[in-house]
Amino acid sequence: MKLIVLGSSSSGNCYILDNGNEALIIEAGIRFQEVKKALDFNLRKVVGCVVTHAHNDHAKYIKAMVDSGFHTLALREVWTAKGVWDSRSLVVKEGKGYKMGNFKVLPFPACHDVPCVGYLIDHPDMGKMVFLTDSCMCEYQFKGLNHVLIECNYSDKKLIEAITAGRTLPSQRERLLTSHMELTTCKGFLEANDLSHVSEIVLLHLSENNSDEPYFISEVERHTGKVVYAAKPGLTIDLDRT
């Protein structure tokens, strides 16, 4: 199974899980033409799409997903905000799991400034993966993880430096505290979960102004002893079960 990153920032978010025979799209914040290119224009292998919340950098192109015939899973608030209702529009129901091809998808609540979910995704070729972005914290622990895709948007130190330098508005600090995951919180989430079978950790949605990619990677590697990547367009990773 390959993880293909098309975008992981406020400019647009989209990821693809692809084993060559079937593919699952995560987030719909990148132009659909770019998604088609990443799939080598083989749309028949797409078994579905999952979206976390209604903000445009995650859901702007959700209509294109549905219009292309993909069963797409999102909160009711997302479908309402985007004005898209179709027989392929699947509404997240708390505690309910979904099957998309051989992918098993379980949504769980996230902590953002609009209704938002994370996803626990399981597939025979990759094992179990947690995907959590745009969430200031996580109230859940997960068993048997093989892969972790987790937001690490900013550090308080870099945020204060950016505010002092005038790159970030002071009002952003209050919003970020209740909407995005800080480095220390990210490390706390990883510490709370059993990583013994985890192959790699992918840090999502690093802020352009308020993060430090090399430092974040080295900190999480030091803290967990795992291989760590920062998600960015063009990154492709093999997600093996072991």
3-state secondary structure of 181: coil
Q: Give me the tens of pLDDT residue by residue for the chain, a chain 242 residues long.
A: 999 999 999 999 999 999 999 999 999 999 999 999 999 999 999 999 999 999 999 999 999 999 999 999 999 999 999 999 998 999 999 889 999 999 999 999 999 999 999 999 999 999 999 999 999 999 999 999 999 999 999 999 998 998 998 888 888 888 888 899 999 999 999 999 999 999 999 999 999 999 999 999 999 999 999 999 999 999 999 998 76
CA-wise closest residue to 26 among 64, 69, 74, 68: 74
Strands 23-26 and 12-18: antiparallel
Q: Are 197 and 166 in contact (CB under 8 A)?
A: no
3-state secondary structure of 189: helix
Instruction: Please state, in angstroms and rounded to a whole number, the distance separating the CA atoms of residues 28 and 8.
Output: 11
Look at the pTM and tell me if it is higher than 0.85: yes
Residue 92 DSSP symbol:
P
For 2-238, CATH gives: 3.60.15.10
Specify the amino acid at residue 157: K
pLDDT at 179: 95
